[in-house]
Amino acid sequence: MKKDIPPTIAGAGGNSARRRAEPEQERAPKKAGETREKIEFSAEQRARFRSITGSENPAFALNLASQVDAALWRGNSRSDKQQEQQAEAMLVAMRGMEPRDVFEGMLIAQAIATHNAVMECHRRAMIPEQPFEGWRENLNQANRLSRTFAALSEALDRHRGKGQQRITVEHVNVQAGGQAIVGAVTSGVRSNQSSQEQTRAMPEITHEPIIPMRSPDPEWRTVSVPASARKAPV
């Protein structure tokens, strides 16, 4: 096992991993004590690899975990126990984001590495007695890295289908004389046209003529007088 592999991910093989020594290739001359180690992982161990990196392949899982582990900040005062705790926390974060395939595993690895870089920039910005330029530059870098982290999160959501909502209609019942719309319907897009259609659909309000009341005297009749006619003297 390589030394740069995090102890926790290397421990995914566990003490129960069966190692068997195989001789070198038949064509190569055999030397005393020269063997090649081959590690066999159980189904449980492969399932743990998949839960962390999205792949059951040990080579991919160990390589990806080692890359994320190398992106962790470790000060000179960090003890072996503290470094092991950091590696375990890293694996908890990778497992908590539940990668479902290799692509999601790589996106999650980049997101965790970006998060570590963001926090490191914030830590450096808070170092006392540093010039204003250093404080500003660290915060600017943290701001850029935060946007990168958000973009990675959005890419992960799009890959998982969370960016779009789809509604599937299996059965549509239309009454006699009714109409059904097949396609995407967006509310508020054609509000002006809808209001105009509703206005045209409303019945027109017209002036109802008033029926003239008849005089009780039948000799009185209504006489039409032109508007331009002059008033006759009484």
Q: Name 178's Cβ contacts closer than 8 Å, sequence gap at least 6.
A: none
* Placement of tokens 């990196």 in the chain: 53
Residue 193 lies in a domain: no
**Residue 42 lies inside a defined structural domain of this protein:** yes
Q: Using CA atoms, how far apart are residues 105 and 207, in angstroms rounded to an integer? A: 74
Distances (CA, A) of 133 to 4, 40, 117, 124, 139: 36, 53, 19, 12, 10
Question: Which candidate, 160, 159, 182, places its Cα nearest to that of 171?
Answer: 182
- Overall average pLDDT of the 45-72 stretch: 92
Within a domain: residue 125?
yes
Residue 118 placed within a domain: yes
Determine, yes or no, domain membership for 147. Answer: yes
Strand residues in the chain grouped as ranges (E): 18-22, 36-40
Residue 63 located in a structural domain:
yes
How many CB atoms within 10 Å of residue 5?
18
Q: What is the DSSP letter of 204?
A: P
Please check whether residue 68 is in contact with residue 97, taking contact to mean a CB–CB distance below 8 angstroms. no
- Tens of pLDDT, residue by residue over 155-210, are 999 999 975 556 666 666 777 766 666 665 555 545 555 556 655 655 555 555 65
Residues 6+ apart with CB under 8 A from 146: 118
For tokens 């290739």, the residue is 25
Rounded-to-integer distance, Cα 87 and Cα 107, Å: 18
pLDDT at 12 over 90: no
- Sign of the CA dihedral with 215 first, then 220, 224, and 225 last: negative
pLDDT at 58: 92
Query: What rounded mean pLDDT belongs to the chain?
Result: 74
The answer to whether position 102 is within a domain reads yes
Position 148 in a domain: yes
- 20 forms beta bridges with 38
Domain that includes residue 78, residue range: 7-22+34-159
Encoded amino acid at 34, one letter: E
Q: Say what the pTM is.
A: 0.55
Please report, for residues 1, 33, 34, the alpha-carbon distance to residue 24 in angstroms, rounded to integers and kept in the order given. 18, 11, 8
| pLDDT one-digit tens code per residue, 70-108 | 998 887 667 888 888 889 999 999 999 999 999 999 999
Q: Structurally, how many domains does the chain consist of?
A: 1
- For residue 36, what are the β-bridge partners? 22
Contact partners, residue 160, CB within 8 Å, separation at least 6? 100, 104
CA atoms within 13 A on the CB side of 209: 3
Look at residue 146 in the predicted model and tell me its pLDDT: 97
